[in-house]
């Protein structure tokens, strides 16, 4: 089974995968972009690389081919890729997300952009447009360990076909649209 773990930067994807790496095979999309040069160049305004989604898809297909273990594909672009059985979107209240991004010394504009994206459900909307099985996990007040346990339990239920056990994580629980503007 392949699970995509996505969410606005700072919601905790890498932290949670670090914990779950003992149990699952993790594919880090951001690392693939930088280490394998799967980009089309640099966006100077944003100071980031522009991912080559087609190249990423091709490389991902190679990496997961014939694999029988459960794999987590991690990164804020993982929902752009095909092949996952389900997508888990991490969610963090915008004010808390801003603190996390400020700690990383992100520019004010970048903090604001990500807060707004989180408040407006941008990644969730993108994900639900592309995928059928989508679940949301909040990481605002939980510890990384508890969030990892929750993500793990969702994956276990999905693998066992216990879909009713994960219904409470279906999209639509968060409305943070009033929090930023
Ligand atoms: N419940 C939680 N789950 C995950 N991370 C948490 C949680 N609570 C606090 N954090 C903190 O939030 C930060 C998340 O950073 P992390 O690099 O994991 O985010 P990310 O989603 O991978 O971002 P990016 O898309 O930029 O790679 C870490 O400093 C982590 O300790
Ligand atoms: Mg990360």
Residue with tokens 């790496």: 21
Distance of CA 133 to the CA centre of its chain: 14
C-alpha 169/C-alpha 181 separation (Å) is 27
Ligand 2 centroid – CA 12 distance (Å)? 7
What are the tens digits of pLDDT across the range 80-124?
999 999 999 999 999 999 999 999 989 999 999 999 999 999 999
Backbone angles phi, psi at 45, to 5 degrees: -60, -40
Q: Is the pTM of this model over 0.95?
A: yes
State the pLDDT at residue 35. Answer: 97
Any atom of ligand 1 within 6 Å of the Cβ of 147: yes
Q: Report residue 47's pLDDT band, with 50, 70 and 90 as the boundaries.
A: confident
| 78 pLDDT more than 90 | yes
C-alpha 124/C-alpha 87 separation (Å) is 10
By C-alpha distance, which of 160, 157, 115 is closest to 135?
A: 157
Q: How many residues does the chain have?
A: 181
Ligand 1 centroid – CA 66 distance (Å)? 31
What are the tens digits of pLDDT across the range 153-163?
999 999 999 99
C-alpha 139/C-alpha 27 separation (Å) is 21
C-alpha 80/C-alpha 59 separation (Å) is 14
C-alpha 73/C-alpha 82 separation (Å) is 11
Mean pLDDT score across all residues of the chain: 96
Report which of residues 180 and 5 the model is more confident about: 5
State the pLDDT at residue 181. Answer: 67
Start-end of H helices in 29-131: 29-35, 53-64, 94-103, 108-119, 122-130
State the pLDDT at residue 19. Answer: 98
Domains, the chain: 2-171 (3.40.50.300)
Whether the Cβ atoms of residue 22 and residue 102 lie closer than 8 Å to each other: no
- Closest Cα to atom 12, ligand 1: which residue? 12
State the pLDDT at residue 110. Answer: 93
């Amino acid at each position: 089974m392949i699970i995509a773990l996505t969410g606005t930067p700072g919601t905790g994807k890498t932290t949670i995968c670090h914990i779950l790496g003992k149990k699952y095979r993790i594919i880090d999309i951001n690392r693939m972009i930088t280490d394998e040069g799967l980009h089309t160049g640099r966006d100077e305004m944003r100071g980031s690389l522009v991912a080559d989604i087609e190249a990423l898809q091709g490389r991902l297909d190679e990496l997961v081919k014939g694999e029988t273990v459960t794999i987590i594909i991690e990164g804020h672009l993982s929902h752009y890729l095909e092949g996952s059985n389900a997508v888990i979107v991490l969610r963090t209240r915008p004010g808390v997300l801003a603190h996390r991004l400020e700690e990383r010394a992100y520019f004010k504009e970048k903090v604001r952009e990500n807060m707004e994206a989180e408040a407006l459900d941008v990644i969730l909307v993108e994900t639900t447009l592309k995928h059928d099985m989508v679940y949301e996990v909040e990481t605002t007040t939980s510890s990384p360990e508890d969030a990892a346990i929750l993500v793990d339990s969702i994956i276990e239920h999905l693998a066992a076909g216990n879909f009713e056990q994960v219904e409470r994580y279906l999209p639509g629980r968060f409305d943070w649209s009033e929090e930023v503007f």
